C-alpha cells in the first residue's frame, strides 16, 4: 500500500507525505500520511483530519489512533491524513489562504461542472480524492463545530438514481448507519435534501464519498480551535469501534454513554432559531440541553443591557451548538439543533 511517499507492506507502518501542489516561492504543499498495513487482509479505511484548519482535534485523534493500532493485530489497512489543510492549519483558520476557499466544498465536482479552470484548492482536493476513492472501503473525515458544541456525528443522506438503484442505496445506507452507530456519538442526520444542495454539502468529502458508494460519516468532535481531551479520547475509541465493526480488530474499545442524548429517535440537523432584531445575544440554554417548541432560548439586548426581544425555538430538539460571538444582526442563526427527522435517509439524486 502506497500513498504519496508512505509505502507499507503487510505488517508494516509507514509515514510520508503526499505532495499536492507547488508553492509560489519554492517548496511544495504536502499532506502528512501514515499507512498502517495490517498483517492480515481486510478492508481499507481512511481517517482524515483538519480539512478545516481551525479544527485541530482530528489531527490529535489521528495521532492517537496511529499510536494505538498494532499492525500485527490488524486485518486490513488504515490510511491516515492528519492534516488535510496545511495552509489553514498554519493560520488556525477554516479555509486555506490560497484564495480563501472552504476546501470541504470541492470534492466530487465533475470536470464539466464549470467552464472555468479549477482553482488550486479544488485541484488539491481532486488529487487527494483520487487517492481516497481508489482504495477506501470506509471513510471518517473528523471535524469539530462551533466553540460551544455537544459532540455528535453527522450521518449523510444516501442518493439513489443515475447509476444507483434504490436497493443498492439501501445496502450502503445500512452499512453507514451501522458504522456511524459503532463510532458511538449521538447520530444526527444531515439536513433535508434541498438544504444539502443549497449548502453545497454534496461536495463535502463525506457527501462525495457517499455519492461514490463509500460508507462515510462526519464526527463533529466538540468545539473548534482547542482540543477537548475527553471528546478526543471518545473519538479514538470511536475510530477503533468502527474498525471492530469492520472486523479489522478483535476486541472493541470503550463506549461513551456520557455524550448520549436522552432521545434515541431519529434526529436531523436544524439551524434555528434566528434573531429578529440586531443586538447583543444572551443565551438561556447551553449545548446538550433539550428544549421544547415555544421555549425562550435567548434574549437580544441593547448596548445598555435592556431586553429588546426574547427568542423562542420553533421546534422540539437538542441544542448542539451555540453560535460564536454575541453581536447579532437581524436573521442571524443562534443555535445548531438536532430535531426529529421525518425525511428518509435515502434521497433521489438529479
Ligand atoms: Zn469542519
Q: Are residues 30 and 179 in the same domain?
A: yes
Which SS3 state, helix, strand or coil, does residue 235 take? helix
pLDDT score, position 111: 56
Residue whose cell numbers read 444507483: 164
Please answer whether residues 242 and 187 qualify as being in contact, where contact means their C-beta atoms are separated by less than 8 angstroms: no
The CATH code of the domain that includes 318 is: 2.40.50.100
Q: Are residues 137 and 58 in the same domain?
A: yes
Q: Are residues 164 and 214 in the same domain?
A: yes
The CA 82 to ligand 1 mean position distance, Å, reads 13
Supply the DSSP symbol for 306: -
Q: What is the pLDDT of residues 80-93, one digit of tens each?
A: 999 999 999 999 99
The pLDDT of 135-152, averaged and rounded, is 98
The CATH code of the domain that includes 32 is: 3.40.630.10
Residue whose cell numbers read 484548519: 53
Please answer whether residues 82 and 58 qualify as being in contact, where contact means their C-beta atoms are separated by less than 8 angstroms: yes
Q: Are residues 291 and 208 in the same domain?
A: no
Q: What is the pLDDT of residues 34-92, one digit of tens each?
A: 999 999 999 999 999 999 999 999 999 999 999 999 999 999 999 999 999 999 999 99
* Number of domains within the chain: 2
Position 349 in a domain: no
Please answer whether residues 269 and 188 qualify as being in contact, where contact means their C-beta atoms are separated by less than 8 angstroms: yes
The CA 12 to ligand 1 mean position distance, Å, reads 31
Q: Could you tell me the pTM of the whole model?
A: 0.97
C-alpha closest to that of 65 among 88, 42, 45: 45
Of 259, 287, 322, which residue sits at a domain end? 259
C-alpha closest to that of 48 among 181, 256, 198, 221: 221
Please answer whether residues 315 and 270 qualify as being in contact, where contact means their C-beta atoms are separated by less than 8 angstroms: yes
Residue 44 to residue 184: CA distance in whole angstroms:
20
Q: Are residues 206 and 328 in the same domain?
A: no
Q: In the chain, what is the greatest distance between 2 CA atoms, to the nearest angstrom?
A: 67
**Buried/exposed 116-143: b ≥16 CB within 10 Å, e otherwise:** eeeebbbebbbebbebbbeebbbbbbbb
pLDDT score, position 116: 81
Position 175 in a domain: yes
The CA 41 to ligand 1 mean position distance, Å, reads 32
The CA 33 to ligand 1 mean position distance, Å, reads 19
Give ion ligand 1 contacts, CB < 5 A. 52, 55, 143
Q: Are residues 196 and 301 in the same domain?
A: no
The CA 61 to ligand 1 mean position distance, Å, reads 14
Position 347 in a domain: no
Of 234, 259, 284, which residue sits at a domain end? 259
pLDDT score, position 112: 56
The range of the structural domain enclosing residue 309 comes to 270-342
Position 337 in a domain: yes
Phi/psi at 64 (5° precision)? -70, -35
The CA 145 to ligand 1 mean position distance, Å, reads 6
The CA 151 to ligand 1 mean position distance, Å, reads 13
Q: What is the pLDDT of residues 102-135, one digit of tens each?
A: 999 999 886 556 678 899 999 999 999 999 999 9
Supply the DSSP symbol for 263: -
Q: Are residues 277 and 239 in the same domain?
A: no
Position 350 in a domain: no
Q: For the chain, how big is the Rg over CA atoms in Å?
A: 21
Q: Are residues 241 and 158 in the same domain?
A: yes
Q: Are residues 276 and 228 in the same domain?
A: no
Position 111 in a domain: yes
Amino acid at each position: 500500500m502506497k500513498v504519496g511517499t508512505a509505502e507499507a507492506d503487510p505488517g508494516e507502518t509507514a509515514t510520508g507525505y503526499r505532495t499536492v501542489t507547488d508553492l509560489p516561492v519554492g517548496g511544495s504543499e504536502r499532506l502528512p500520511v501514515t499507512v498502517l498495513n495490517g498483517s492480515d487482509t481486510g478492508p481499507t479505511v481512511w481517517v482524515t483530519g483538519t480539512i478545516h484548519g481551525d479544527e485541530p482535534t482530528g489531527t490529535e485523534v489521528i495521532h492517537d489512533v496511529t499510536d494505538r493500532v498494532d499492525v500485527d493485530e490488524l486485518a486490513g489497512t488504515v490510511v491516515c491524513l492528519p492534516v488535510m489543510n496545511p495552509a489553514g492549519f498554519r493560520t488556525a483558520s477554516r479555509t486555506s489562504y490560497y484564495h480563501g476557499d472552504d476546501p470541504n466544498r470541492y470534492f466530487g465536482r465533475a470536470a464539466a461542472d464549470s467552464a472555468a479552470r479549477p482553482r488550486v484548492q479544488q485541484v488539491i482536493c481532486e488529487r487527494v480524492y483520487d487517492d481516497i476513492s481508489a482504495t477506501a472501503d470506509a471513510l471518517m473525515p473528523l471535524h469539530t463545530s462551533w466553540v460551544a458544541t455537544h459532540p455528535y456525528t453527522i450521518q449523510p443522506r444516501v442518493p439513489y438514481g443515475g447509476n444507483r438503484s434504490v436497493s443498492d442505496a439501501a445496502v450502503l445506507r445500512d452499512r453507514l448507519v451501522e458504522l456511524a452507530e459503532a463510532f458511538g456519538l449521538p447520530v444526527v442526520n444531515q439536513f433535508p435534501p434541498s438544504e444539502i444542495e443549497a449548502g453545497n454539502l454534496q461536495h463535502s468529502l463525506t457527501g462525495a464519498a457517499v455519492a461514490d458508494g463509500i460508507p462515510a460519516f462526519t464526527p463533529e468532535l466538540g468545539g473548534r480551535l482547542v482540543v477537548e481531551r475527553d471528546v478526543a479520547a471518545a473519538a479514538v475509541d470511536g475510530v477503533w469501534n468502527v474498525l471492530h465493526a469492520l472486523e479489522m480488530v478483535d476486541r472493541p474499545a470503550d463506549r461513551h454513554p456520557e455524550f448520549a442524548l436522552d432521545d434515541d429517535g431519529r434526529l436531523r440537523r436544524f439551524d434555528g432559531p434566528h434573531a429578529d432584531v440586531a443586538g447583543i445575544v444572551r443565551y438561556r440554554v447551553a449545548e446538550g440541553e433539550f428544549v421544547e417548541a415555544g421555549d425562550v432560548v435567548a434574549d437580544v439586548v441593547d448596548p445598555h443591557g435592556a431586553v429588546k426581544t426574547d427568542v423562542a425555538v420553533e421546534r422540539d430538539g437538542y441544542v448542539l451548538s451555540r453560535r460564536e460571538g454575541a453581536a447579532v444582526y437581524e436573521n442571524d442563526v443562534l443555535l445548531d439543533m438536532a430535531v426529529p427527522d421525518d425525511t428518509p435517509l435515502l434521497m433521489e439524486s438529479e
